[in-house]
């Protein structure tokens, strides 16, 4: 499962990275992208501009409550088994730019430590997801997105059985264009190459507070070993 990531690149950096157009907007660096926040994505239906879409649920409905994991992400096996979700991948897919994402490493039965995963050479990597559009009670059109997740086959089993789907830079254009078939899309999202290139390190537990948004959240943070000693080493 994924419930936090970072997108601190500027609007200009994102548009240059993906070759986008559109009028520049101001973006606050987000080191703690959390459910219900409005976040930059690139939709299949508007692939030349950044679109701001709420993750999982619109903020007005969140009311500081914990958002169900089912709203945050969609397992890839669900995409393959359910025609409705498979059709959504064809019609409503999106790329979610991120600088890195957070995952919790299990230490013993009760303690988990957050780690930050990023690519050592690429500032921005691409998660993928599915977005949907609906009309609220006031008749306003709202959009939300979910992140695709798949079985974790990178060997980092202590971080859980699932990991967000990342796609290679060379596959981004094909993923977002109008001509890719469902088989081609599935082939792209099932690739493992980029996951094996990621590095990770322990970070501050303040990441659990969605209102806390500082650069220190993505900086290495000493973890506590099983004896209660602080260490930066595994």
Torsion of CA 84, 34, 116, 205, to 10 degrees: -140
- Per DSSP bridges, beta strands 38-43 and 93-98 are antiparallel
Superfamily of domain 5-103+123-199: SOS response associated peptidase-like (3.90.1680.10)
Q: pLDDT of 88-100, one tens digit each?
A: 899 999 999 999 9
3-state SS assignment for residue 5? strand
Q: Are 18 and 177 in contact (CB under 8 A)?
A: no
Q: pLDDT of 137-192, one tens digit each?
A: 777 888 999 999 998 866 667 787 889 999 999 999 999 988 888 999 999 998 87
Tokens coding 19: 């070759």
Q: What's the predicted TM-score (pTM) here? A: 0.89
The span from the CA of 62 to the CA of 36, in Å, is 7
Q: Are 142 and 62 in contact (CB under 8 A)?
A: no
Q: pLDDT of 192-216, one tens digit each?
A: 778 889 999 999 999 999 999 999 9
Query: Helix axis angle, 83-91 relative to 182-190, nearest 10°?
Result: 90
DSSP H stretches of helix in the chain = 11-18, 59-62, 69-72, 76-81, 83-91, 172-176, 182-190
| Long-range contacts from 224-233, C-beta under 8 angstroms, 24+ separation | 224/113, 226/107, 226/108, 232/201, 232/202
Mean pLDDT lowest among 29-38, 82-91, 217-226: 217-226
Q: Residue 218: pLDDT above 90?
A: yes
What does the radius of gyration of the chain's CA atoms come to, in whole angstroms?
18
Tokens coding 172: 């981004």
Domain boundaries, the chain: 5-103+123-199
Tokens 């609007």 map to which residue? 11
């Amino acid at each position: 499962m994924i419930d936090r990531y970072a997108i601190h690149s500027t609007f200009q950096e994102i548009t240059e990275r993906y070759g986008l157009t559109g009028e520049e907007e101001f973006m606050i660096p987000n080191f703690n992208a959390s459910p219900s926040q409005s976040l930059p994505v690139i939709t299949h239906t508007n692939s030349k501009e950044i679109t701001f879409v709420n993750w999982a649920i619109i903020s007005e409905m969140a009311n500081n409550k914990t958002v169900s994991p089912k709203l945050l992400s969609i397992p890839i096996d669900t995409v393959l088994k359910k025609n409705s979700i498979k059709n959504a991948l064809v019609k409503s897919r999106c790329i979610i730019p991120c600088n890195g994402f957070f995952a919790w490493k299990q230490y013993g039965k009760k303690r988990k430590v957050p780690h930050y995963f990023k690519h050592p050479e690429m500032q921005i990597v691409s998660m993928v997801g599915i977005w949907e559009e609906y009309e609220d009670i006031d008749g306003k059109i709202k959009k939300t997105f979910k992140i695709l997740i798949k079985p974790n086959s990178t060997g980092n089993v202590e971080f859980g059985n699932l990991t967000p789907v990342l796609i290679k830079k060379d596959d981004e254009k094909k993923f977002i264009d109008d001509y890719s078939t469902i088989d081609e899309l599935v082939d792209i999202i099932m690739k493992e190459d980029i996951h094996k290139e990621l590095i990770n390190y322990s970070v501050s537990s303040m990441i659990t507070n969605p209102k806390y948004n500082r650069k220190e959240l993505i900086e290495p943070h000493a973890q506590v070993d099983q004896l209660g000693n602080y260490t930066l080493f595994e």
